[in-house]
Amino acid sequence: MKKFRTVAAVVIMFFAAMAGYFVGAALQEEMGGAILFAVIAGFACVIYNMDNRE
């Protein structure tokens, strides 16, 4: 189950980075948007995993 959480977190961060890239492209800051969205998603995954230990 721990491995699944890790893979799920990486997949969520990847899709958040893709969305951030396109949002950032509209604002002329592609990589900044991708990094920002990925970091926010990563923090959310860490907080979720800390709250829901089994």
Structural domain harbouring 3: 1-53
> For 4-19, what is the mean pLDDT?
92
Find out whether 45 and 9 touch, Cβ atoms under 8 Å.
yes
- Structural domains in the chain (count): 1
* Nearest-angstrom CA–CA distance, 38 and 35: 5
DSSP string, the chain: -HHHHHHHHHHHHHHHHHHHHHHHHHTT-HHHHHHHHHHHHHHHHHHHHHHT--
Which is more confident, 8 or 53?
8
pLDDT digits (tens, 9 = 90+) for 21-48: 999 999 999 999 999 999 999 999 999 8
What does pTM read for this prediction?
0.84
